[in-house]
Structure 1
Amino acid sequence: MTAGSSNRPRRLVSLAPNVSMILFALGADHVVVGRTQYCVASIRDYLDTWGVSGEETIARLAHWEALPDMGAWPRADHERAASLRPDMVLASGSGPFDTHEASMFGLRPEALINFDTRTLADLDRQILTIGEIVCRPEAARELVSQLAARRDGVLAQRRMPAGSPAILFEYCICIKYHPDPARRRANPGRFIMVGGYLAAELIRLCGGKPLLAQRGDAVAWVDFNSVRDARPDMILAFDCQDCPNAMSHPVARRPGWPELKAVSGHAVYRPRRNIANPNLCYPSALAELMELVTIWDDAQPKNLINPINGSI
């Protein structure tokens, strides 16, 4: 996409935290007139992770804090967003959006742009596309280069495991979502949601084998039989947005789960960062994942081989 000054958006609504991170990193705050309830926290995470600070940054963050909150996509407040008279809305999620959804914002279909970002290459393309949209292509190319340098810096510290652990990334356990966490429902003894998006790629970069999700997949529901048949060596039980269900259904107490090798072998970990999340902070998630794989590898029994004759 190429955006000249004549069709550059002047009133843009961001309905995705990863979009807002990129807009902030590109210095395009002045065109943003609305955001989601999670955007400010995500921008703060970007600032902390990348070490960005200063008076100008504080002032720019204040602009975002003062913006109207549209809720969270896909449950955004369409009427409130439309009242802001945006000339473009940027979202991020699985699948395409159609003419009907664009009309709910009072927009032409081409003015509602969704980024179905599932791989590292997709994320680079998203950054470059947003750079074109806000007429900052050079800044976008520089941001892609900086992100790659951060990833490569993490990988330079990598220690590959002796074996390739089969890793299950549990993204969520809620089978019935509700904005009020107390009203969410879960039955992890039968079903869990496994993470796709960046998770499979990051697991492979750490020397692991992703289970029940491959590169380019979105998140997916799987039943416990599939988990048992996959025989995970490691389980990453991510606490999705501090969901209380994750705390009330610990892995070791779920029906059937204690028979899994990862559970009986105490290889269940709770990462702080979401390794599936396609945003500018994924190198930090990669670094944490590398640490967990190293912890797992160090806990595995090693063959005691005589370095002289190779005997045990």
Structure 2
Amino acid sequence: MPKLLLCLLLLPGLAHAEASRIISLAPHITEILFAIGAGDQVVGVDEASDYPEAATELPKIANYRSLNLERILALKPDLVVAWQSAQSLQVAPLVQLGIRVEYSEPKRLEDFGDELLRFGRLTGNQQQAQQVAEHYNRTLHALRQRYRDTAPVKVFYQLSDMPLMSASQHTWMGQAVALCGGDSITANSPTPYPQIDPEFVLAQDPEVILAESPQAMQRWQAWPALTAVSQKQLFTIDVDTLHRFSPRTPGGIATLCRLLELAREHQPNTD
């Protein structure tokens, strides 16, 4: 009996076929699929999937709050890819209906190359996925080598203004700051995305404050003695490349590293 079961499991018809009608439920998933050459296999995306431009033309079947199950079923997907920590409960009805659901939630910058390869296997685009993964890994390695011995820069990474939130060292953004030689004032937070008081930031006196827009950092102008303010180092960042784990992430990290290099120019010379 064990041999018979093994033979059955090895039959090609019983293995998962390469997906041809894919639904993506998160922007980073959509970017991955298009980057590895599976864009033509995507039949539906979430409302926040705005890159590449071709993704904006696809049916919108979900937002950050809910899924439109009726529209999803009408598209007859053979694969739904979801963001596990945020959407596992939302996709439970699809699993119960027998629709194949895979999850994407890489935790570390180093894991993303493997994630690209996994998507290649799921979609039958192994060759292009391999090329994208190799480019990602090379670029990430080059950035680590370039900035590994740089002087630390004290950073406040502002995720949101109301409420005031940041990111720990275990998040994608926290890892990016560390790679660039940044010393995040919330790196050791026990929660991934801590909500903090302005007084904490003032006490830490960061050299650099990062946020998605100048308007989001307007409050800090009320404290001209704050180092980041006095040195005019309130820098805007591209949240799409830093908050989404995608093949564009190394480009976002490179830009972040260049901003911290500007801050190092204002540091006192210790030679």
Name the TM tier (shorter chain).
0.7 to 0.9
Which position in structure 1 is the counterpart of 2:228? 262
RMSD: 3.3
Q: Greater share of helix residues, 1 or 2? A: 2
The Cα shift of 1:217 comes to 6.8
- Which residue identity lines up with residue 210 of structure 1 in the other structure? S
Question: Are 2:185 and 1:195 aligned?
Answer: no
The Cα shift of 1:280 comes to 0.8
Question: Are 2:75 and 1:87 aligned?
Answer: no
Which position in structure 2 is the counterpart of 1:113? 102
Which position in structure 2 is the counterpart of 1:27? 37
Write the mapping of 1:2-41 to structure 2, written as runs, cut at 5 A. 6-8=15-17, 9-39=19-49, 41=50
Which position in structure 1 is the counterpart of 2:134? 145
CA distance in 2, matches of 1:86, 1:15: 12
Which position in structure 2 is the counterpart of 1:205? 179
- Which residue identity lines up with residue 94 of structure 1 in the other structure? S
- Which residue identity lines up with residue 155 of structure 2 in the other structure? I
Question: Are 2:238 and 1:272 aligned?
Answer: yes
The Cα shift of 1:252 comes to 2.4
1:167 and 1:208 in contact (8 A); partners too: yes
The Cα shift of 1:13 comes to 0.4
Which position in structure 2 is the counterpart of 1:97? 88
Partner of 2:60: helix, strand, or coil?
coil
Partner of 1:103: helix, strand, or coil?
helix
- Which residue identity lines up with residue 78 of structure 2 in the other structure? D
Change (3 A) 1:72 1:95: closer
- 1:227-257: CA deviation from partner (whole Å, max 9, x where unpaired): 3444422111223xxxxxx627613246xx5
CA distance in 1, matches of 2:61, 2:261: 41
1:171 to 134, 156, 159: 159
- Which residue identity lines up with residue 197 of structure 2 in the other structure? D
The Cα shift of 1:96 comes to 6.5
2:94 and 2:101 in contact (8 A); partners too: no
- Which residue identity lines up with residue 120 of structure 2 in the other structure? G
The Cα shift of 1:291 comes to 1.2
Partner of 1:42: helix, strand, or coil?
coil
Structure 1 stretches lacking a partner, 5+ long: 45-60, 174-185, 240-245, 306-312
- Which residue identity lines up with residue 227 of structure 2 in the other structure? K
- Which residue identity lines up with residue 209 of structure 2 in the other structure? I
Partner of 2:131: helix, strand, or coil?
helix
The Cα shift of 1:158 comes to 4.5
Structure 2 stretches lacking a partner, 5+ long: 1-11
1:124 to 109, 113, 127: 113
CA distance in 2, matches of 1:154, 1:86: 38
1:79 and 1:104 in contact (8 A); partners too: no
2:195 to 221, 238, 241: 221
CA distance in 2, matches of 1:217, 1:151: 26
CA distance in 1, matches of 2:148, 2:110: 24
Partner of 1:221: helix, strand, or coil?
coil
The Cα shift of 1:72 comes to 2.9
1:195 and 1:213 in contact (8 A); partners too: yes
- TM-score calculated relative to the size of structure 2: 0.78
- Which residue identity lines up with residue 253 of structure 2 in the other structure? L
